């Protein structure tokens, strides 16, 4: 499963397997716009919140379905800080 996001003409996928490694809340950006990704490990649910506190529309989908429509998507990978 992935959490898919579109901002203007840019796309980004957040694979749940990567979100499981990440902090439950973290900041990210796409197309110059910053937001917070929130992942609930217990319920396997994810959402995206704008800096204004409003939820940004996103989609939870199977990877193959997301990729079929957005083959040029950016893919989030968790990077552990040193």
Residue 82 lies in a domain: no
pLDDT tens column, 68-78: 999 999 999 99
The residue count of the chain comes to: 82
Band the pLDDT of 80: cuts 50, 70, 90. confident
Instruction: Tell me the two tokens of residue 35.
Output: 């937001």
Q: How many structural domains are present in the chain?
A: 1
Kindly report, residue by residue over 24-68, the tens digit of the pLDDT: 999 999 999 999 999 999 999 999 999 999 999 999 999 999 999
Dist. CA 46–CA 76, nearest whole Å: 14
13 lies in a domain?
A: yes
* pLDDT score of 12: 98
Tens-digit pLDDT profile for residues 3-29:
999 999 999 999 999 999 999 999 999
Consecutive H or E run containing 25: strand 25-30
Output the pLDDT for position 42.
96
Domain, as residue range, for 60: 2-68
């Amino acid at each position: 499963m992935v959490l898919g996001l579109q901002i203007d003409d840019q796309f980004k996928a957040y694979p749940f397997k990567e979100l499981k490694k990440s902090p439950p809340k973290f900041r990210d950006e796409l197309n110059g716009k910053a937001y917070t990704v929130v992942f609930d490990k217990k319920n396997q649910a994810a959402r995206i919140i704008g800096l204004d506190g409003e939820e940004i529309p996103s989609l939870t989908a199977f990877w193959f379905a997301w990729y079929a429509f957005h083959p040029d998507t950016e893919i989030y990978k968790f990077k552990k800080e040193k």
